[in-house]
Amino acid sequence: MQNKCLVFVAILAINLFNCTPGYTQEMESPIITGVDIAVTNTESGKVRGYIHNGIYNYKGIPYAEAKRFEAPQRPQPWEGVRSSLTYGPVSPLINPTTSVRDELEFVFDHDWGYPNEDCLRINVWTPGINDGKKRPVLFWIHGGGFTAGSSQELPSTDGENLAKKGDVVVVSINHRLNVLGFLDLSAYGEKYKTSANSSIYDMQSALKWVNTNIANFGGDPNNVTIFGQSGGGAKVNTLMAMPSAKGLFHKAINQSGSFRRSMTEIATTQEIASEVLKALDINAENIDQIQEIPYENLAAAGSKALKIVAEKLEKEGKAPGGFGLNWGPSVDGNLLPYQMYAEEAMTMSKDIPLMIGTVKNEFASMFMGTSGSTMEQVKEMINKKYGDKAEAYIAAVKKVYPNDSKPTDLIDVDFRFRPGAVYQANLKADVANGAPVFMYLFDWQSPVMGGKYKAMHCMELPFVFNSIEKSKNMTGGTKEAYALADKMSACWIAFAKNGNPNHAGIPNWPVYNKENTATFHFDNKCTVMPQMDKELFELVSGAK
């Protein structure tokens, strides 16, 4: 009761202050803080956050703890009230950032965080606590492949605006990555049984934390939507193929994350582990020493092992597709018994509605050196890559995007992420009596730096989170950006609430199937069209 009174008094003071003559926009919404502010319970103890714009913010709450390469466990309880005001540690990275490209860093505006292996932390944004309400929960999983990234890496993924706009609860997590998350030591004892997929087990533990605790934060544990972008989208796919995660989430959104069609098999992951141990001079008898090896040495051994095994697979004609052999989930016969697109996995997740899509120019940043190229220079590049199919390629691109005018529009259309999204959507739509699929393509072009960043990888994030103000470096902060963010974030909110992204502010978004191939295009003018790039993808695939 005392906490509620303090919050009421603080909010009343803000309202009175807002009415003061001369009050300006810059002075709005002061942060409400204090030892008795925003206090609620978790299974491990009380936590306190802060209030901003009417949203309760909590950051860096432990959702689990784990010794290196061991399964996550419930965090040790604490006494008193745990301060949870700032983001927690991020997983250590194999290649930590020591220098950046100035302009690109300006656009992304990263928060690199601080590394620590004790990184199992969860963040929560909610409109209310301890109020008995059952708000939909949006569970965000960050990108960076399976090797890098964090929940706080990009300003666009701050959950405050989305929580406020939709009266929803937004959560995000940090978890183990790279060698820490995926070194398969299962052949070396029960202690390391789950080590091949420690990272995925961490995510399951975070979902369990949500299931147990989110009601205290005003959320509904029976209405959880997992969503992620890039590697986060791939993690969404992985969780959908994980039997022990079934029931912990109810809807899924995959943003630019369908770049993997298979997971590594156990024979390969155990071979990688064997090479790691060899590099570290560790064997089955002294295996526990691997828990004490400095991370830098472990990471170096892991990189060496990946290279050795990748070269061996290539000689055997078994080279993995996608981005090559790297750290990531595997079919371990335990947590992940099936390939993610296997019939068993697809059937297991058939009741999960799926929203899936990509951005038009995923890898525009790779073409930065060509952004000022003339049409003659672009055609020369196309001729070099596609040979006698060059003219057919140009015609196919112009057919799909007839209004494009920049020469580089011909070369930076995405051919890696979207074909995978179409493949997954077709598989999902084919499951008998399955939940609906909704397909999108984000076409909107950023005006930043003369427009050369276009709709590149991650560009949709400020629109999903309704965080244009926090992401002006990426979006330009234009009125068009704000307008599209209002529509797009409302789609994510509607989907989280009822499994359907439609709302009054957009054209009707039909359910996707292989016959209508209905695709919602997010742009200054939103439209719905059938798949327009099928012939283009077939041409590009045949040209390789």
Q: Which residues are catalytic?
A: 230, 362, 457
**CA 463 to the chain's CA centroid:** 14
Among 287, 304, 149, 163, smallest CA distance to 228 is for: 149
DSSP per residue, 122-184: EEEEES-SSS---EEEEEEE--STTTS--TTSSGGG-SHHHHHHHT-EEEEEE---HHHHH--
Beta carbons within 10 angstroms of residue 401's beta carbon: 17
Neighbouring residues of 269: CB distance < 8 A, sequence distance ≥ 6:
182, 184, 196, 330, 332
Beta carbons within 10 angstroms of residue 247's beta carbon: 11
Burial environment of residue 408 by CB neighbours within 10 A (0 to 12, 13 to 18, 19 or more) = buried
Burial environment of residue 146 by CB neighbours within 10 A (0 to 12, 13 to 18, 19 or more) = buried
Amino acid in position 121: R
Helix (H, G, I), strand (E, B) or coil at 38: coil
Amino acid in position 413: V
Among 47, 43, 10, 48, smallest CA distance to 29 is for: 10
Q: What is the dihedral of CA 68, 73, 76, 77, to 10 degrees?
A: 160
Q: What is the dihedral of CA 323, 325, 328, 333, to 10 degrees?
A: 130
Q: How far apart are CA 164 and CA 450, in angstroms?
A: 32
Tokens of 182: 């995926």
Q: How far apart are CA 382 and CA 77, in angstroms?
A: 60
**CA 338 to the chain's CA centroid:** 22
**CA 216 to the chain's CA centroid:** 25
Q: For residue 22, what are the CA distances in angstroms to 18, 27, 32, 383?
A: 9, 10, 22, 63
Contact 496, 166 (CB under 8 A): yes
Q: Any idea which residue has 């899936």 for tokens?
A: 356
Query: Does the CA dihedral 347-208-50-134 come out positive or negative?
Result: positive
